[in-house]
Amino acid sequence: MAAVILETKGLTKSYGGLNANEDVDFELRRGKVTALIGPNGAGKSTFVGMVSGRIPATRGQVIFDGQDISALPAHKRIQLGIAYTFQITSVYAGLTLRENIAIAARRRLGKDRKAVQTKVSGVLEQVSLLDRADQDAGDLSYGHQRVLEIAMGLVQDPRLFILDEPTQGLAESEVDDFVTLIKTLVGDTTILLIEHNMDVVMRTADYIHVLDNGRSLASGTPEEIRKNTAVQAAYLGTDVDA
């Protein structure tokens, strides 16, 4: 079994006495895709916010590659190799694809222009956008903008890549392209996937963690989650819904 690259212990977030997350113990296996699922209001966004450092935890620990990073702000976690894409695209519409990715690349490579250019071209090719490199990002379809955002994360060589609802708003063909892209990344980086589309989850995830009412309900392989009686009961016997 792959080693653990990130874990949380008792991670809790309280708002005015109400817990958005409570005592969440969670593990991410290095080089694997782990999907975080659960109904609306399950606490997925709050949990990921605490992992990425955008939301301070009320209590509990976040441990990344053996280091307790619970007190580190988001930008320090980025420097350690944690990249994050949002539910809504955050590209610079007036800049070209190459320029967008170069901005992200400089966060890791600094002002070494040649190194940045080489890295940008390589990532553009990896996500099949090299032929659009000099096109303005604002002229891309929504689906291609999501792929560009993923490229902006990849160019930073993340050790952990958090993808928050990456297929939201994508056409079916674009979803298939996304699944193909994710499969090419397996092994090179560790992926935490927050996703509503259960077909995508089952096609891409090595492991699944289920949240319900802010607490951990179950963890396991896709097959184990399908057969889990607690998950079946929580979802009234229907297919697990993210």
Instruction: Write out the residue range of the structural domain in which residue 183 sits.
Output: 1-81+159-242
**How many domains is the chain partitioned into structurally?**
2
Q: What is the pLDDT of residue 236?
A: 46
The b-or-e profile of 196-221 (16+ CB within 10 A means b, else e) is: bbbebbbbbbebbbbbbebbbbbbee
Residue-wise pLDDT tens digits, 158-207: 999 999 999 988 899 999 999 999 999 988 899 999 998 999 999 999 99
Outline where DSSP puts E strands in the chain: 4-15, 18-29, 33-37, 59-64, 67-68, 82-85, 160-164, 190-194, 207-212, 215-220
123 with 73, same domain: the answer is no
Quickly state the pLDDT bin for 233 (edges 50, 70, 90).
confident
Residue-wise pLDDT tens digits, 36-81: 999 888 999 999 999 999 999 999 999 999 999 999 999 999 989 9
CATH of the domain at 171: 3.40.50.300
CA 81/CA 73 separation, integer angstroms = 13
CB 193 within 8 A of CB 201: yes
3-state secondary structure of 46: helix
Quickly state the pLDDT bin for 17 (edges 50, 70, 90).
confident
Q: What is the pLDDT of residue 187?
A: 87
Residue at which a domain ends, from 142, 157, 172: 157
Q: Is it the case that residue 18 has pLDDT exceeding 50?
A: yes
190 with 131, same domain: the answer is no
User: pLDDT averaged over the chain?
Assistant: 92
Tally of CB atoms within 10 A around 171: 12
Tally of CB atoms within 10 A around 132: 18
Q: Position 108: which residue type?
A: R
Quickly state the pLDDT bin for 239 (edges 50, 70, 90).
low
3-state secondary structure of 145: helix
105 with 153, same domain: the answer is yes
Beta pairing class for 207-212 and 82-85: unpaired
Residue at which a domain ends, from 126, 142, 157: 157
77 with 168, same domain: the answer is yes
Q: Is it the case that residue 242 has pLDDT exceeding 50?
A: no
Q: What tokens does 196 get? A: 């509503």
CA distance readout (Å), 196 to 101, 112, 182: 27, 39, 16
16 with 70, same domain: the answer is yes
